[in-house]
Every structure is written in structure tokens, then in C-alpha cells.
Amino acid sequence: MCDESRSAAAPGLHPDSVGGAVLVVGAGEAGSRVAGALASRGAPVVVLSPDGSPGVELPPLSKKLFAESLTLTAHSVDPAAADSGPGHAVSGGSSVALLQGAAVELDLDTRSVRLDTGEWVHGSAIVIATGSAARILDIELPGGPAFTLHSAADAQAIREHLAALRSGSAQDTPVDIGIIGSGFLALELARGAVDAGHTATVHLNGPRPLPRLSAPLSDAVMALHESAGVRFVPHSTPVDYVARDFWITAVGAQAATDFAGRGVQRTSAGALLTDAHLRVLAAGGAPLEAVYAIGDCGQVAHGPMAAYGPQESEPVAASQGEWLGRCLGAASNHAESPGPAEPDPSEHVEPGHSAPTAAWSDLPWHWSFQGPVRVFTAGMSAAASQGEPVVLGDLATGSGQVALFASEADDAPLVGVETLGPPKPHLAARRLLASGTVPTRAQVSAPDFDLVVASRLAGSGHVRA
């Protein structure tokens, strides 16, 4: 978390440079969180959104796509606002303005963004929170049309096509859906379709789904879905594709950062590389002054959080947005006051989160609800760990954990935990990993080891779900 008692709380943002509004490019999870944190501290904020409105919460799109109704919840860019329409600014002390326009160019020298309207908007700081867009599979698929699912408009298009298919036949006739992808989204869609009475075939790129997770957990999840009727085609290639009523491709996403130009460093997926303070790295490697990237469009490349690799999840986007908003808000308050910013008395360090620090360092975690199958991750991924994982519980029953370690050595520390089933062990894992006192491979491998008990011994307190 950000230490608001520091006089220079926002790295790269000097007190004499914060006379104008912070410019937040994007109104999704990360953008709305940073705007909300700034607004709660009275700092001026301009939020850019392509359609002039906040984005919607994305998780329900995949989990409820095949339900009878799909309720979409818009993000709030200003907790004090009753209205979030285009150009909205709240009186009575609030300082948020929502501006319609898509970013098409970034001028790093002047910290300005050109919109598709031709207008240039300047910010005392720029926070890039543009998220990502679905990758399009460049192949013609047999049978019905192909969709992606990365927005409310995508969800509406799929639901309308599904309704059209069913209107011409008996309502209980299953629709045959082909899904291409191996990640969380593909499994959420497949299980949702089967539970709604349709057939779903998932074409995998490798031997099992969820390639970034451990083999024991991935195999268990695959078996649970197969028992419910989901079909899998491992090592699938285009020759395995047969005509379906329609397709959904879930083959990853590309960060929406083209507008940032060539003067910045990116990953192969388009994410902007940042330092430990979430400042965007220039092409030469130095962090840019008061230009940040958070959420799916950024990836930490320096500091201890760099070891965690890509973190494309709603909890991480929310954490980075809130942390950066507090830092920028503290710097803004400092610029307007002759003395250091007073810490907000409502701020506190929650168990399961890092202590106040000069860099973002919250423990990364993720969740995926695939019908009744619940998957949680905390800490480093299986791909970033070393040696054989240790399985706790009986994954075949849908309840257990997989412990991940820094090396194959017996004294290697625990670095990550995957959980299948109820959230209690996951919350315990987050508390344990964030405590700074983690067990070793030898300790976790002991027959009497209990992760929940170990987390209580490491420290007590509530971990927010």
C-alpha cells in the first residue's frame, strides 16, 4: 500500500507539477479504481472513455452468459456521484469529469493524449488503464459464426444469436457450441453452456486446460468438467474443427496500448512495461515522469513484483488502481498544502496485503468460477515456481490445494498456492503468503501439515475476499 504520510508519495510526480487534473485513460476496473481513490481525496480527475460512460464488470459476462438474464454492473469512476454520464462532474467538492473519446496518440513530452475527436487533453499525470482486447483467430471456422467475449457488446451479440437459433426450434433443443482456448475464460464458457443444457466442445492447444497452473490441478479441473458433459479435444489443430452452431474463440488478449507509440517498452502481448512504482518505461529503459500503466495493459518489470510475471486479473487491476490513486492523491494534497499530507485515518493495512511501502507490492491473486468448480490462485504461478508441486487434499473430489515452491530443495519457501473448492483455504493461503513467514517444502510435505492452521500461526486477521 501507499504510505500517505510521505511528502513525496507518488514517484515521478513532483508537488510543483500537480496543478492540473490527473488524466486517466480508460474507465474499466483499474481506471475506475484509481479515479475513485483520487476523487475521495478531492484530487481533480479527468477520465477518458471511448463511449463516454464507465465500463462494466467483466467477470459476469462469461459466468452468466448462458443464464436466462444477464445483469451488467457499471464501474463507478466517482463514489460520490449519482450520475456517471458523459462530461459528468459532481458539485459539492467532487472533482471527477468523464470525457468521451478514444485515445489515439500519446505525447510523452507534454503528457497529453489526442482523442479520436481530434482534441488534445493534458494531464498533470497520465494513468494508462486501457485494458486489453480479445485476440482474433485468423481462420475461417466451419459452421456457424465465430464470436469473442471481451465486452458487454460481445455478450449481447452471442445472446442474440443464441436466441435466434432457439427461436426456430424447440426451446429445449441443445445448441452445439465450439470453444477454442485453454484458459479460464474457455472453461467458464464451456461449463456455463453445458449447465444451461447445450453441448460444448473445448479445443485445447496442449494436453490439458489452464496451462499456467500446475498439472495436478489442471487435470482435476478437466476431469470435473468432463464428468459434467464438457468435451475436450487436446492438442487441437484446425483439422479437428467440425461444423458447430457457433463458435467462441478465447485465445488470449492483446493490451490496448497502440496509441502509446514507439517511445515505450512493451511485452509481446502489448502490455507496457513499468518499474516497481508502475511508471511506464521509456524505450531507453528509464521510467517516464508521471506516466503510469495499471491493470491488464501494464506489466511490472522491475522490483520484487517482476518475478510474478503477467498478472491479468480483476483483483490486481483493482489493487493497482487503488494504490496509485492514493499515491497521486497524497501528492496532489501535498502540492496544495505547505505541510506533508495527513494520512487518511480510514487507511489501514489488511492481513493478506503488504505493509505500507514506496512501491506497489500487493500479493497477486485470481479467482475463476466455472459453474460449481471454483479455482483460486495466490502468489506466484506454477510457471514461475520450481520443482514438483505438493498436493494437499483430494483434488479429484473438487476440494484441495497445490503448493508451489521457489526450488526443488527441501528448504525452499512456499511461493504460491492453487486452490480448488471453497474459498477458506484460499484466504488462508493469501494470509500465509503475505505474512512473510512461509513454510518450506519439507514442512508442507509433512503428513500433518494444515494450510489453514499454518496461516493462523503466521498471523491472525481478516483477509478480504
What is the DSSP-derived secondary structure letter of residue 318? H
Q: Do 173 and 233 belong together in one domain?
A: yes
pTM of model > 0.85: yes
Mean pLDDT of the chain: 86
Does residue 342 belong to any structural domain of this protein? no
Does residue 346 belong to any structural domain of this protein? no
Does residue 384 belong to any structural domain of this protein? yes
Averaged pLDDT for residues 120-124: 94
Q: Do 123 and 20 belong together in one domain?
A: yes
Q: Which of 249, 276, 294 is the last residue of a domain?
A: 249
The stretches of 337-459 forming alpha helices (DSSP H) are 424-434, 441-445, 451-458
Spatial neighbors of 358 by CB under 8 A, at least 6 apart, are 3, 6, 11, 277
Length of the chain: 465
Q: Do 378 and 406 belong together in one domain?
A: yes
- If you search the block for the grid coordinates 451488467, which residue do you land on? 72
Say how far apart CA 168 and CA 170 lie, in whole Å: 7
> CATH number of the domain that 440 lies in?
3.30.390.30
pLDDT in tens, 339-392: 334 434 333 333 333 333 479 999 999 999 999 999 999 999 999 999 999 999
Contact between 372 and 388 under an 8 Å Cβ cutoff? The reply is: no
User: pLDDT above 70 covers what percent of the chain?
Assistant: 85
Does residue 10 belong to any structural domain of this protein? no
CB atoms within 10 A of CB 236: 17
Q: Among 432, 430, 425, 415, which Cα is nearest to 395's? A: 425
pLDDT value at residue 57: 78
Between 337 and 36, the higher pLDDT residue? 36
Q: Do 216 and 275 belong together in one domain?
A: no
pLDDT value at residue 335: 54
> CATH number of the domain that 47 lies in?
3.50.50.60
Q: Do 266 and 124 belong together in one domain?
A: yes
Highest mean pLDDT among 75-84, 211-220, 307-316: 211-220
Does residue 387 belong to any structural domain of this protein? yes
Contact between 13 and 292 under an 8 Å Cβ cutoff? The reply is: no
Domain that holds residue 84: 15-133+254-333
Does residue 357 belong to any structural domain of this protein? no
Residue 13, pLDDT > 50, answer no
Averaged pLDDT for residues 255-272: 96
pLDDT value at residue 94: 54
Say how far apart CA 452 and CA 465 lie, in whole Å: 15
Averaged pLDDT for residues 48-61: 83
Residue 264, pLDDT > 50, answer yes
Q: Which of 230, 249, 268 is the last residue of a domain?
A: 249
Q: Among 14, 17, 16, 47, which Cα is nearest to 29's? A: 47
Q: Which of 232, 249, 266 is the last residue of a domain?
A: 249
- If you search the block for the grid coordinates 478437466, which residue do you land on? 222
pLDDT value at residue 230: 98
Contact between 304 and 40 under an 8 Å Cβ cutoff? The reply is: no
pLDDT value at residue 3: 52
Handedness of CA 72, 97, 81, 316 (dihedral sign): positive
pLDDT value at residue 15: 35
Averaged pLDDT for residues 135-163: 93
Does residue 390 belong to any structural domain of this protein? yes
What is the DSSP-derived secondary structure letter of residue 211? T
Does residue 219 belong to any structural domain of this protein? yes
Q: Do 21 and 94 belong together in one domain?
A: yes
* Collapsed DSSP state (helix, strand, coil) of residue 155: helix
CB atoms within 10 A of CB 339: 8
Contact between 208 and 215 under an 8 Å Cβ cutoff? The reply is: yes
Q: Do 315 and 183 belong together in one domain?
A: no
Q: Do 66 and 80 belong together in one domain?
A: yes
Domain count for the chain, please give it.
3
Q: Do 310 and 390 belong together in one domain?
A: no
Measured CA to CA in angstroms, residue 302 lies from 114, 278, 280, 298, 326 at distances of 29, 9, 11, 12, 21
Q: Do 395 and 443 belong together in one domain?
A: yes
Band of residue 434 on the pLDDT scale cut at 50, 70, 90? very high
Q: Do 70 and 119 belong together in one domain?
A: yes
Q: Do 328 and 231 belong together in one domain?
A: no
Residue 8, pLDDT > 50, answer no
